[in-house]
Amino acid sequence: MKNQDFEFLAGLLKDKSGLMLTPDKVYLLESRLTPLARKRGLDTLDALVMKLRTSRDDSLIKDVTEAMTTNESFFFRDNTPFDIFKNHVLPAMEKARTTKRLRIWCAAASTGQEPYSLAILLKEQWAKWQNWNIEIVGTDICTQVLEKAKAGAYSQFEVQRGLPIQMLIKYFKQEGDVWRINDDIKNMVKYRPFNLLDSFGMLGSFDVIYCRNVLIYFDQPTKKDVLERMSNTLAKDGTLFLGAAETVLGITDTLRPVRGQRGMYVPSGGNAEELMGLK
Amino acid sequence: MKLCLVVDDSKVIRKVARRILEELNFEIEEAVDGQDALDACDRNLPDVVLLDWNMPVMDGLEFLKAIRAKDGIEQPVVVFCTTENDMSHIRTAIEAGANEYIMKPFDREIIEAKFTQVGLI
């Protein structure tokens, strides 16, 4: 790919989604956009770039952004953030929220595995939560992945990555080649398309936020901006989970890591650790 | 190092499973059917059994029932690994005492995920 084409695409993606594309990711552009070019009846990636440069076709720009920001997802990915949720966050919230209201935001919900994993954990101890008003909001910049999330239908391959077999038996139905998540789990999650560069105002405030493996694609000022706005929407005793390769350290002081709990961050002024018995 | 007994009548599957599991730091023994697997368990009890369902002589489910019926042994973790991919087979296996269930085809990620879930990794 020509240098100026790379720079053009990188600039476009940064502009539309915050995605930071470094030159070592050229292969990613080629592997993800070549199929898109063909789907659009264009022979090569060069032709796609030419089309983008000359026509400013909004639906094409959207497809390019979605193709580049889509991430692989699986159930209970990395385990730890879900163990912490079950063992520390939920018991603390059960005590602290006398309003019996709990709001969880999966900020990069992708194809739904993360929000559904959280819904399943809640369902596993439903006697405690059945009288609560619990909202799990799943957002993603890519509407295509959200359609899949809403359908709650997964391939045999997808349900085997991270999902214990007991949970497959309990919470899924088999429909031919497809494993579909049960309606009572599906109905616990509300999906909506959302760009993290936009204002969080309409989303309301949250007790728990999962925003994993998104910040790695942003540059430093965008990371800072997103993290600080997240800390504003997070309850004082709330919890933020980032991906294993991400941190708040050196980016913002509004959040701090919880010692010994990988990927877990809390508002700097808050008392979340005490509440969760992690101090 | 944990010992994994790979039970499958297909040499190719045994070889693929062996390669993946050795990379995950398991010591491997192989058996070609349920009876062969029972004999292997008598000689050297494994920590985990990766178990095919359909095999000549003795199938995987019969092996599972036989091993679970044994008293006085440290029961191994049993992970089914089979092309049988319908809910009724899965339920039958779990009710008979299987700890996890892999539907073929599998890859390294699936093996790793399932072995992690049962606490072997």
Three-state SS string over B42-88 comes to HHCCCCEEEECCCCCCCCHHHHHHHHHCCCCCCCCEEEEEECCCCHH
What residues of chain B lie within 8 A of the CB of A165, using their CB?
90, 94, 100-101, 114
pLDDT of residue A134: 98
The rounded average pLDDT for each run of 10 residues, N- to C-terminus, in chain A (279 residues) is 90 89 84 89 91 89 86 86 96 96 97 97 97 97 92 93 94 95 98 96 96 91 97 96 94 95 92 83
- Per-residue pLDDT, averaged over B55-75, amounts to 97
pLDDT of residue A23: 84
- The answer to whether B108 contacts chain A (CB < 8 Å) is no
Contacts of A170 (CB under 8 A, 6+ apart): none
Residues A203 and A105 sit within 8 Å (Cβ to Cβ): yes
> Who among A79, A160, A162 is closest to B102 (CB)?
A160
Domains of chain A are 3-69 (1.10.155.10), 80-275 (3.40.50.150)
Please report the ipTM that was assigned to this predicted complex.
0.92
Contacts of A88 (CB under 8 A, 6+ apart): A261, A276, A277, A278
pLDDT of residue A72: 73
Q: Minimal CA–CA distance to B96: which of B56, B55, B57, B51?
A: B51
Q: Please identify among residues 19-38 of chain B the ones whose CB lies closer than 8 Å to any CB of chain A.
A: none
CA A102 to chain centre: 18
CB atoms B113 and A169 under 8 Å: no
pLDDT of residue B65: 98
**CATH number belonging to domain B2-107:** 3.40.50.2300
Map out the domains of chain B as residue ranges.
2-107
Mutate to test the interface with A, among B80, B101, B111, B121 (most CBs of A within 10 A): B101
Chain A residue with CA closest to B102: the answer is: A160
pLDDT of residue A66: 85
| pLDDT confidence band for B8 (50 / 70 / 90) | very high
Chain B residue with CA closest to A175: the answer is: B86
DSSP H or E run through B18: helix B11-23
pLDDT of residue A69: 79
What residues of chain A lie within 8 A of the CB of B83, using their CB?
none
Q: Is B92 helix (H, G, I), strand (E, B) or coil?
A: helix
pLDDT of residue B43: 97
DSSP H or E run through B94: helix B87-95
Residues A143 and A57 sit within 8 Å (Cβ to Cβ): no
pLDDT of residue A21: 84
CB atoms A160 and B86 under 8 Å: no
- The answer to whether B115 contacts chain A (CB < 8 Å) is no
pLDDT of residue A27: 84
Distance CA B13, CA B6 (A): 9
pLDDT of residue A188: 97
User: What is the number of CB-based contacts under 8 A between chain A and chain B?
Assistant: 31
The secondary structure of chain A as a DSSP string is --HHHHHHHHHHHHHHH-----GGGHHHHHHHHHHHHHHTT-SSHHHHHHHHHHH--HHHHHHHHHHHH-----TTTTSHHHHHIIIIIHHHHHHH-TT-EEEEEETT-TTSHHHHHHHHHHHHTHHHHTTSEEEEEEEES-HHHHHHHHHTEEEHHHHTSS--HHHHHHHEEEETTEEEE-HHHHTTEEEEE--TTS-SGGG--EEEEEE-SSGGGS-HHHHHHHHHHHHHHEEEEEEEEE-TT---TTT-SSEEEPTT-TTEEEETT--HHHHTT--
Helix axes A58-69, A3-17, angle to 10 degrees: 90
Burial class (CB in 10 A: 0-12, 13-18, 19+), A221: exposed
Distance CA A224, CA B101 (A): 43
CB atoms B90 and A79 under 8 Å: no
